[in-house]
Homo-oligomer: A and B are copies of this chain.
Amino acid sequence: MTESIRRIVLASRPSGAPTPSNFRLEEATMPDLPDGQVLLETIYLSLDPYMRGRMSDAKSYADPIPIGEVMVGATVSRIKQSRHRDWRQGDIVVAYSGWQTHAISDGSDLRRIDPAVAPISTGLGVLGMTGFTAYAGLRNIGRPKPGETVVVAAASGAVGSVVGQIARIQGARAVGIAGGADKCSFVRNELGFDAAIDHHDPDFARLLAEACPDGTDVYFENVGGAVWDAVRPLLNNFARIPLCGMISHYNDGAAGKSTVDRLPASMKVIQQRSITVRGFMNVEFIDQQPAFLEQAAGWIADGRLKYREDIVDGLENAPSAFIGLLEGKNFGKLIVKVSGEQYSRPMPAS
C-alpha cells in the first residue's frame, strides 16, 4: 500500500490581503520514517493571525516561509508510527506539522496532551498557544488589580476570550470589544464579561467610554486601528498595554492605510499618562506554561473558563478559512479538522 500525503504550500506572496491563489494544494508520497523519529497524522490544524507575517518576506522575528514550502502551523496530531523510544503509536500530541496531513518529527517539538482533561482540539486554543498567550500577557504585563478595568480587543477570539475571563477570575472588570451582535452577546452572556461593545456600531467610541466609567487600566492589544483610537482617550495614568498583535494592520502595505500619522498622538498619551506598552510573544514566558496548563484545566473543569471553537472541515478549506480569519469572519478559535480518524478519548486499558 502506497499512501500519499496532502499539503498546502505557499504558492506566492500576498500583496495586501491573501487570496486563494497564494496557496496551492499538493499531493506527495508518504515519507519513510527514519530511526529515532515519529510519523504524525494531523487531526486538527490551528489557524492563527501570525501566519500572515510568515507569508511575507519582510524582515521579522521569524523567517519567511519559502515559496513552494508547506505553510507553518500548530497541529494536534496522532502518532501513527513511532521509531522513537519516548513516543508510542496512538499518543496525542501538539505538534508543528503545518498545513499537511502527515509529518515527521524527532519528538523535540512535541507536547503530549491528555484527552481525559478536555477535548483534544483545546490543545490548539484555550489549553494551547492562544490561551497561554492570554495568560502570559496578563500575568507578566497587564497585571490587573481587583477592581481595575481591563479592555480586551477581539474579545470573542481565541486570545481575547481568555484574557477577559482570567481578568475576571482575578477580580478585575472585563470590557470586551467584538464585531457584531452575535459575538457581543457571546462575550457578555456566555463568557461573562462585564460589558461587550460592538466595534461596528457607529457610536462605538462613545459606548466604549460609557462601559469604562473609571477609565481603562489594562488594554490587551491585538487589533490596532480604530479600536486603538477609541481606547486611547480612556487610558488611565499608569495603564499597562500588553501588545500581542495588530491584526487590523496585517494586510496593510508598508505605508499603512491611514493618511494621518497616528504615532505622535499615541506617544503623547503614553508619555503624559506614564503608560507602559510592552510587546511580547508567549515563548519568552514559556517556563510558565506548566503552571498555566494546570490552572486553566481547573478553571475549565469548574466552569470559570469557557471557550468556543470554529471548526472548519477539510484541509482544502484552510486557505479560505485563513483569509476569513484576517477579516474577523471566524467566531471562536479557528481550527481545521484535517483527519476524521479515531481520536476521541481512549478506553481505559483492560
Contacts and interface: CB of A to CB of B under 8 A. Distances in A.
A1 interface: no
Interface in A253-288: 254-281, 284
Interface residues of A, number: 44
B264 A261 contact: no
Given A265-B254, A278-B276, A244 B271 contact: yes
B279 A273 contact: yes
A256 B246 contact: no
Given A259-B261, A262-B263, A278 B268 contact: no
A60 interface: yes
A348 B275 CA distance: 48
Nearest to A243: B271
B263 A245 contact: no
Interface string A227-263: 0100001000100000111100100101111111111
A234 to B, nearest CB: 12
A278 B274 contact: yes
A233 B60 CA distance: 10
Nearest to A269: B279
A224 B267 contact: yes
Contact of A260 (B245, B261, B271): B261
Contacts of A264: 224, 246, 249, 252, 256
Contacts of A278: 270, 274-277
Contacts of A59: 233
Contacts of A60: 272
B284 A280 contact: no
Given A246-B268, A267-B224, A267-B243, A61 B261 contact: no
B267 A256 contact: no
A271 B246 contact: yes
Contacts of A246: 264, 267-268, 271
A86 to B, nearest CB: 31
Contacts of A280: 271, 274
A61 B281 contact: no
Interface string A50-77: 0001000001110000000000000000
A73 to B, nearest CB: 18
Contacts of A275: 278-279
15 contacts: A61-B237, A224-B263, A224-B264, A243-B267, A243-B270, A244-B271, A246-B264, A257-B261, A258-B261, A267-B277, A271-B279, A274-B278, A274-B284, A276-B277, A277-B277
Given A224-B264, A243-B271, A259-B260, 5 more contacts: A53-B272, A249-B267, A262-B263, A267-B277, A273-B279
